[in-house]
Structure 1
Amino acid sequence: MRNIAAAGAAFALLASTQAHAELPNGARAPDFAAKGALAGKPFSFSLKQALKKGPVVLYFYPKAFTQGCTLEAHAFAEASDQFKAAGASVVGMSNDDIATLQKFSTEACRDKFAVAAASPAVIKAYDVDLKRDGKSTGLTKRTSYVIAPNGRVAMVHSDMDYRDHVKMTLEAVRRIKTRG
């Protein structure tokens, strides 16, 4: 019962916050490296290295195993073959600990893509600090970035409703592929 109440409180917090991304299209995406998990195993992510292979979808989500974040991870997992066909890598980012990310990468991401720990520096650089009443909540905004191989932001979508993130990022990746 306590978990249900906590989930309800978290949802109320998320629903009551505004989500705006500050990195505009065309901005240079801040480079970073992070630890995370892929298929339950430790994983190291480097944006610079990933961009050598093609576009990168960085999707920030507030908290593993919350309803919206789990549904969003399922949606990205279901679309993983389409992202791969377009030459893109998908990486979910949150400030969850590595043990939680390992479990989330298997259960919610269905072993289809990596999740990584967003450090305070990455959260600040990508302007995804979820605030309420001007104060950090310790969570990240639900913000998706598509970063082109040249390191520039090709698309950004910031909305606490998870439902359009996969569709919009996939469309942006496909536009990069047709131009490229």
Structure 2
Amino acid sequence: MALSKKFILKSKIIAALLTLGLANTALRPSSAKATLSSGFHAPPFKVSGITMGQPFHFDLDQMLKNGPVVLYFSSESPDFACSREAEPLIKSASELRLYGAFLIAFSVIKNSMPFTTGCRSRLPVAIADTSVTRLYALNNPLSPQNNTTYVIAPDRRILLTYVSSDTDSHMIKALEVIKNWQKNQKIKR
């Protein structure tokens, strides 16, 4: 008897959704996962990456002790640091450092290729494996229109979540948020 009541209730909900035209989106699995929103605490993680052709170790909690961190998740291969797409990131990394922030780019592709040490870009790049993409609610592989930036304050609070295919807009938004955060920190002191 209880089973039939549940079935009737589900049927009524589906009928209501159909009436509203929402059944298709409510019942179909989404192709894009939701990202972590501003205000949430960023989950800690550690990865290895490469910068200036040399390997490095990245620990989010350790980096946050030095100031805010900008995580840029890209659909490009790990060697994109030597491509045109990385130019706005490289330019912004220097400016972000002036405000005490650190930028790291992540390659989110299904079959990740090994790093090539021939790329001597100043941009730190790491591969975001499924453990990282799950923590940050990202699809793996990431589609270009879902490139995602998180700006994280030293208390691990997410200040910005931004999704777009336009690399320039990611860095403009990140820099704007970092400047505002920096200004608010001075006011609090």
TM-score by length of 1: 0.74
**Superposed displacement of residue 41, structure 1:** 0.4
Structure exhibiting the larger radius of gyration computed from Cα positions: 2
Structure 2, unaligned stretches of length 5 or more? 1-30
2:131 aligned with 1:118: no
2:181 aligned with 1:176: yes
Kindly report which structure 2 residues correspond to 1:28-177, keeping only aligned pairs within 5 A, or say none: 28-64=41-77, 70-95=83-108, 96-100=112-116, 102-104=117-119, 106=120, 110-111=121-122, 113-130=123-140, 138-139=141-142, 141-177=146-182
Over 3 Å counting, the alpha-carbon distance change for 1:89 and 1:66 in structure 2 is closer
* Larger proportion of strand: 1
- Tell me how far apart the structure 2 counterparts of residues 121 and 143 of structure 1 sit (CA, whole Å): 16
- Tell me how far apart the structure 2 counterparts of residues 151 and 170 of structure 1 sit (CA, whole Å): 17
CA contact (8 A) 1:54 1:88 kept: yes
List per-residue Cα deviations over 1:98-129 (Å, max 9, x = no partner).
424x445x2xxx32x31111110101111221
List per-residue Cα deviations over 1:61-102 (Å, max 9, x = no partner).
0123798x93331101112221111000000011444424x4
**Superposed displacement of residue 26, structure 1:** 0.5
> Higher relative CO (CA 8 A, sep ≥ 6), structure 1 or 2?
1
Aligned partner of residue 44 in structure 2, secondary structure: coil
TM-score by length of 2: 0.71
- Tell me how far apart the structure 1 counterparts of residues 102 and 32 of structure 2 sit (CA, whole Å): 24
Structure 1, unaligned stretches of length 5 or more? 1-17, 131-137
CA contact (8 A) 2:33 2:139 kept: no
Over 3 Å counting, the alpha-carbon distance change for 1:125 and 1:167 in structure 2 is same
- Cα root mean square deviation, aligned: 2.5
CA contact (8 A) 2:71 2:150 kept: yes
Over 3 Å counting, the alpha-carbon distance change for 1:165 and 1:114 in structure 2 is same
- The percent identity for this pair of structures is 32
Over 3 Å counting, the alpha-carbon distance change for 1:142 and 1:36 in structure 2 is same
Aligned partner of residue 79 in structure 1, secondary structure: helix
List per-residue Cα deviations over 1:7-62 (Å, max 9, x = no partner).
xxxxxxxxxxx766420101010100001001110111000000000000000001
